[in-house]
Amino acid sequence: MKVYRLAAAGLALGLLTGCASLLERSYTTSEPHSSKFWESEAAATLRAENRQDMVNDLLILIGQHTETASLRLYNFPDEQTALEELEKAAQEVQQETPLGAYAVEYITYISQPQRSCFEADLQIGYRRTAEQMQTIVSASSVSALGDLLEAALDLSFVYEETAPLYSKKYGRPPIDPVVIVKYLLVGFLYGIPSEREIERRVQTDIALRWYLGLDLFDRVPDHSTVSQLRRRKPSFRKVFRRLFEEVVRQCIEKGLVSGRVVGTDSTHVKANASRASEELVEITEAPGVYWERLDDYEEEGLEELERRTGKRRKKRTKQLKRDNRRSHKRVSRTDPEAGHMKRPGKPEGPHYLAHQAVDSDFGIIVGQTVTAGDVNDSVPFLGLIEHIHENVVPIQTATADAAYDFPLAHRALGELGIDFFVRPQKTAARANTQFTRDDFRYDEGRDIYLCPREKELRLRRLARSASGLFWEYQADKRDCALCSLRGKCLRESDKRGARKVSVSYFAADRQRSLERRSSPEYREALKLRQVWCEGSFSAQKREHNLARVLRRGLEAAEDHCLLSATALNLKRMIKYAG
């Protein structure tokens, strides 16, 4: 029937064009190609379409200590080009791969042209026996990555976490969710920045195919499938948090995490947005993140104020009015959840901040959170440390740099029994005045401050702001009005007419912590923080995609940073625990 249809088509074409010679030709039908590449080829015959395929095939043969085999070369313009590529592949295997350099004496071949390809009969000579090769095969063969990661990480929990996302009755057969997680993890282990590039890499890398559980000719999951899954199924992201926690749990079980010293730091991660997309937006300033926490301390402080001064205002019956001032900030139209970062020595523009807590024994990252780039480092600090202390591993000592030296942290960590070793933050100077708070001397016996002219500043009240609680000591207006040093102590615009000194309600807790800053354990903790926190950020930015995020939004940025931290933890777990 097919022959008749083609003949009829040829007759019609010939009559329409006037070309009778078309009728003299014979037409045949062709069957569709088989979906299997090697259906008619022998078991010892491999197939290659480029030099990388040749290298992979040779490594398979060498890994099995095969001495003779056939290699069919497709898609080459002529025999000479095919053999030149095969020669280069053989040299690469013998000179640049650990397995080939260790075990192979020679690789020879004889070409036999076939109807649709060029076939090379390979002869491989070895300088090592199969038993001698076993050691290096286990460390450098195409299955090494898969063997190490499979032994180190059990991903069966992924099925439990993703079960509600899949239908058992409807839709096309899904991609195994474990394959998707491995697919993304491969990108962060090898520093491959995008799903599109991961797909290309997996297509030609046998080691990665082996780890994902894909055969040589199984189809690699399409990059758009993975991207759309992450975009359309936000609940899939809980898998990344669970994956990070699972790796940390295994590190604890293997003795790689003790909680003896946990360092905290943050680093900037470039958002997928340009400075040109930013615009000034008027916003209402939100209350401080520790606002609710300060309520309890305020009531406690008012009782102490009554004891020290004999005065106490009436108990507050309604919520203190929060700071509702309006201000302007730069917001990106492309990624509104990224924050405009402008810090000395840092790049300016839309960024996120990755906050990490690292155990100093072996550099395992035990806590991870992400904020916009314009958020102060102190904002997520207490929540991160408390979560680790209560849910991950008990912390004995927490250490951080000067950005985390805020008084509330010393009180909160002290109540948890955690030593806080932090680099002291310099006291902010009072603008447009010569005298700073350090010029005022505290008389503990009388609970007063004395100014440079020995005039008294007495405790007046307990002040509340978005960031903390403060004792306010204030001088007598009459003393300041007659003082010859008034110009060095007060600004011209100061409406109070008297100098005020504010002292944090938690100053005593901070002082107790900083009294130990000259001790060996204090200095050692600061050194460990610098080595492991900053060293981890350096490794992640260089090798594990932490330099920038491609997806937009705070949740996507957190997923990105979690996968980067998980990749580094996996490498360190395998390195130190085997």
For 419-440, write each residue's pLDDT tens digit: 999 999 876 655 567 788 888 8
- Rounded to an integer, the average pLDDT of 133-148 is 56
Mean pLDDT of 170-183: 85
> Which pLDDT score, from 0 to 100, does residue 3 have?
38
Helix, strand or coil, per DSSP, at residue 177: helix
Confidence of residue 231 (pLDDT cuts 50, 70, 90): confident
The crossing angle, in degrees rounded to 10, of helices 238-253 and 554-577 is 20
User: At 26, is the pLDDT very low, low, confident or very high (cuts 50, 70, 90)?
Assistant: very low
Q: Ramachandran region of residue 432, left (φ > 0), alpha (ψ -120 to 50) or beta?
A: left
> Rounded CA gap, 505 and 473, in Å?
12
Residue 251: per-residue pLDDT: 93
CB of 144 closer than 8 Å to CB of 151: no
Asked whether the predicted pLDDT for residue 390 surpasses 80, the reply is yes
320 has pLDDT over 60: no
More confident residue, 144 or 237: 237
Higher pLDDT, 155 or 363: 363
Question: Is pLDDT of 150 > 80?
Answer: no
Check: CB of residue 187 under 8 Å from CB of residue 198: yes
pLDDT given at position 13: 35
Kindly report the average pLDDT of the chain as a whole number: 82
User: CB under 8 Å to 350, separation ≥6 — which residues?
Assistant: 270, 271, 273, 274, 275, 277, 278, 332, 334, 335, 338, 339, 340, 341, 373
Q: What is the spatial distance between Cα 439 and Cα 431, in angstroms, rounded to a whole number?
A: 15
pLDDT confidence of residue 411: 93
Q: Let me know how long the chain is.
A: 578
How large is the average pLDDT for residues 239-262? 93
H helix runs in 403-529, sequence order: 407-415, 477-481, 486-489, 507-514, 520-529
pLDDT at 318: 45
Q: Which helix H or strand E contains 369, and what residues bound it?
A: strand 365-372
Q: How much is the pLDDT for 15?
A: 34
% of the chain residues with pLDDT over 70 = 85
Cα–Cα nearest to 70, from 106, 8, 128, 118: 118
Structure confidence at residue 188 (pLDDT): 93
**Which carries the bigger pLDDT value, residue 11 or residue 237?**
237
pLDDT digits (tens, 9 = 90+) for 243-254: 999 999 999 999
Asked if residue 515 has pLDDT above 60, the reply is yes
Contacts of 136 (CB under 8 A, 6+ apart): 98, 99, 102, 103
Residue 252 and residue 393: Cα distance in Å, rounded?
A: 8
Lowest mean pLDDT among 364-373, 480-489, 505-514: 480-489
Q: How confident is the model at residue 395 (pLDDT cuts 50, 70, 90)?
A: very high
How many whole angstroms separate alpha carbon 213 and alpha carbon 210? 5
The pLDDT of residue 265 is 95
Q: What are all long-range contacts of 159-165, with beta carbons under 8 Å and residues at least 24 apart?
A: 161/238, 161/239, 161/242, 162/236, 162/239, 164/235, 165/233, 165/235, 165/236
- Beta strand 419-422 with 397-400 is parallel
Across the range 504-530, mean pLDDT stands at 92
> How many CA atoms within 13 Å lie on the side-chain side of 541?
15
pLDDT score for 334 = 93
> Quick one: pLDDT at residue 431?
56
User: Which residue, chain included where needed, has tokens 């002869």?
Assistant: 123
Give the pLDDT confidence score for residue 415 in this predicted structure: 93
Least confident of 35-49, 103-117, 191-205: 35-49
115 exposed, middle or buried (CB, 10 Å; 0-12, 13-18, 19+)? exposed
Flag whether pLDDT at 14 surpasses 60: no
Tell me, yes or no, if the pTM score tops 0.85: no
The pLDDT of residue 430 is: 52
User: If pLDDT is split at 50, 70 and 90, which confidence band does 335 have?
Assistant: very high
pLDDT for position 19: 39
SS3 563: helix
Per mean pLDDT, which range of 79-88, 427-436, 508-517 is the poorest? 427-436
Is pLDDT at 523 greater than 50 in this prediction? yes
The region of weakest confidence among 72-81, 296-305, 421-430, 435-444 is 421-430
Is the model more confident about 63 or about 423? 423
Most confident of 161-170, 295-304, 318-327, 431-440: 295-304
